[in-house]
Amino acid sequence: MTSSETLPPYLRADGNDLYLRVHVQPGAKADVISGCHGDALKIRLRARPVDGAANTALSVFLCATLCLKGPQITLVQGESARDKILRIRAAPASVQIQLKKYAESSHPPALNREN
């Protein structure tokens, strides 16, 4: 993994694991990563924050976006808050590269799903 000095503020490496700080906006029109929000990656989700639905949708969305398996992503902090910290276990280098691109782009790539 790359040294933490070259990582965006929303990403921290710890061995083979990554810690991702996100700001979630539930009830959006589409599931998308919409750039940075302070020192967090902003993610808009269609799911409402009812009975953990937004947390589940966040995990599913990130797994699909980053080509990961569900058990690799765990919620570390912020279960009922918009600001959350996620742990991505055994993250391949490609995930770190992909997450860094969101900080470098003024128009981040988005994954829209019509489910």
Could you give the CA distance from residue 86 to residue 108 in angstroms, rounded to a whole number? 20
pLDDT value for 6: 84
pLDDT in tens, 77-87: 999 999 999 99
pLDDT value for 105: 63
**Residue 53 lies inside a defined structural domain of this protein:** yes
Which of 36, 62, 35 lies closest to 47 in space, CA to CA? 62
Could you give the CA distance from residue 68 to residue 60 in angstroms, rounded to a whole number? 9
**Residue 77 lies inside a defined structural domain of this protein:** yes
**Residue 69 lies inside a defined structural domain of this protein:** yes
pTM, rounded to two decimals: 0.83
In DSSP notation, 88-110 reads: ETT--HHHHHHHHHHHH-SS---
Domain around 65:
22-102
**Which residue carries 């503020």 as its tokens?**
9
pLDDT value for 112: 43
User: CATH number, domain at 44?
Assistant: 3.30.1200.10
**Residue 34 lies inside a defined structural domain of this protein:** yes
**Residue 9 lies inside a defined structural domain of this protein:** no
pLDDT value for 100: 87
Overall number of domains in the chain: 1
pLDDT value for 102: 80
**Residue 67 lies inside a defined structural domain of this protein:** yes
Could you give the CA distance from residue 52 to residue 95 in angstroms, rounded to a whole number? 25
pLDDT value for 64: 94
**Residue 1 lies inside a defined structural domain of this protein:** no
Which of 25, 27, 20, 7 lies closest to 65 in space, CA to CA? 20
Cα 74 vs. chain centroid, distance in angstroms? 11
Ranges of residues in the chain whose predicted pLDDT is under 70 = 1-5, 105-115
pLDDT value for 74: 95
